[in-house]
Every structure is written in C-alpha cells, then in structure tokens.
Structure 1
C-alpha cells in the first residue's frame, strides 16, 4: 500500500492540476498500461494525459511466481516528480 504521506501529496497535486481521478485509480491505470507494453525486467517510461495535465510514470514489470507485478518507481505530474517505489498489480 502506498505511503500515506506520498498519497496525500499526490492527492493535493492532482487537485492543483484539475485531475479528478483518484490517486489509486491513476496509479493502477498506469501500472496496467506499463504491463500491457510487455517489456519485462527493464525500466519503462510512459506518458498519459489527464485533462490537460501530462502524467508520466517510470516502472519495472516482472513476473514473480507466475504473477505479473509492476514496481512504480516515480510519478511525474506536470513538472513535479514523486518517488513512489511501490508495487501495483
């Protein structure tokens, strides 16, 4: 589970940038999009737009015990970058 302090910072940044989606929803969407690329065990960067705000994620997909996991390393909202270092999926 995402650190509460980081979650609160992300939530404030989302509000500031007019992003209506929930923090967890966006992180899961981004993790799924990274996994859909099918690139395993390498750092991958992906950029999406929510409204007019660019959101960029950096993560690593891997398969552990038959399950696909995604480590989200960073999330960049506009020009502000946050270190996440947490697993999704």
Structure 2
C-alpha cells in the first residue's frame, strides 16, 4: 500500500495478474475528472458501454484511488475486506 505504482514482489504481481484478468464487466477503474487534481471511482459495464461513475467516491490523489481499487478488488476476489 505504501507504493501502489512501484516495483512489486512476485507474490503481489501474481495477485495483480489475477485482478487484471477479471472480466471487464464489473471491473473497478479510476476516472480522471479534473486533470491531475481529481479522480472518481468507476465501474466498467462491459465493452462499448459507459462506465458507471460513483459521484460520492472522489480522490484528490491518484495513489489513494489506486489503493481503494486494490481494497475493492481484494474483497471481490477473496471475499473479505483488508484490515488496513
């Protein structure tokens, strides 16, 4: 969580590959709503369909948004929430 964009251990890379291999429908994404200032949580609805944007999930840091997506994907794949 300290460096969501940096180099990752082999174990974490395996987890991320599993996340990235999930179907497009239902996949969590960050949508930049103000260049370099604001991102919102979004969810894909499959190919060629608009992304559902959650207006109540706003981030002023790209990295905070990436951390939130990791938590959401973890819960989706593992069935339990992360404690940090």
Q: Same fold (TM over 0.5)?
A: no
Of Structure 1 and Structure 2, which has the larger fraction of its residues in strand?
A: 1
TM-score by length of 1: 0.35
| Higher Rg of the two aligned structures | 2
Give me the TM-score of the superposition, normalised by structure 2: 0.36
